[in-house]
Amino acid sequence: MEQRERRRFAERLSDTELASQLPDGRAEHLVRRFPPLQAAAGLQLYAGDGRQALLSALYQAVMQRAPELVPTPQDLAEAAELGEESVIDLLLAEVDRDIRLLLDEPPERLWALLGLGLEGAPVAGVRQILDALLTIADDGHAPGTRVRMLTGPVAGRIATVVSVVWGSSGPPVAYRTKDEVAGGEFGAATGDLAVLAGQECLGR
């Protein structure tokens, strides 16, 4: 994240122009922006071969099935000239959320929608990319964030966020976390966890 913050304007402009180009440029931009992460306890996040191809196919699918959500190429091009990827994120917020919700569909329905045979596709890695992207605007905890559980039988345990549960709008409604000691996954409402101090923001 620190390296991204130090980018010169020309570099930010190039990144933003790429981010504005649907579907392939946007997919490439997000894969670069959210590279694989080695999280606590050896947990690998944002990973998997074929992430860019899957993202591109998902953007293409939404462009075809819900064109009313997609900004015009002119609007995207004009926004890209500002050199601020957050402006592109705002324009594409509904598209990005629609894609993220698609990834919660049963695999057979998702594959039928995409028209591709994607057995072994990196769904988890792409889901985490979109989770991180959406938490930037909606004040959530991106995958890889270490938290302390506050309630229930797991109170006091340290865990890592592995995915986010979204509604049709608004901030996260819950999280899936992985216990750093026992290794099991469990759900947590937004008020059931606290972010550990001293962590770098993962919504980069």
Q: Cβ distance 37 to 142 under 8 Å?
A: no
Backbone angles phi, psi at 179, to 5 degrees: -65, 125
75-130, pLDDT tens digit by residue? 999 999 999 999 999 999 999 999 999 999 988 888 888 877 666 789 999 999 99
Residue 204 has a pLDDT of 47
What residues have CB less than 8 Å from 108, skipping those under 6 apart?
none
Q: CB of 41 within 8 A of CB of 177?
A: no
pLDDT in tens, 138-174: 889 999 999 999 987 888 999 999 999 999 899 999 9
Strand pairing report for 158-165 and 146-149:
antiparallel
pLDDT of residue 183: 80
Q: What CA–CA distances, in Å, run from 13 to 33, 39, 72, 84, 120?
A: 14, 30, 19, 7, 35
pLDDT (tens digit, 9 = 90+) per residue, 17-67?
999 999 999 999 999 999 999 987 789 999 999 999 999 999 999 999 999
pLDDT of residue 5: 67
CB neighbour list of residue 95: distance below 8 Å, 6 or more residues apart: 59, 62, 63, 66, 69, 70
Per-residue model confidence (pLDDT) at position 188: 92
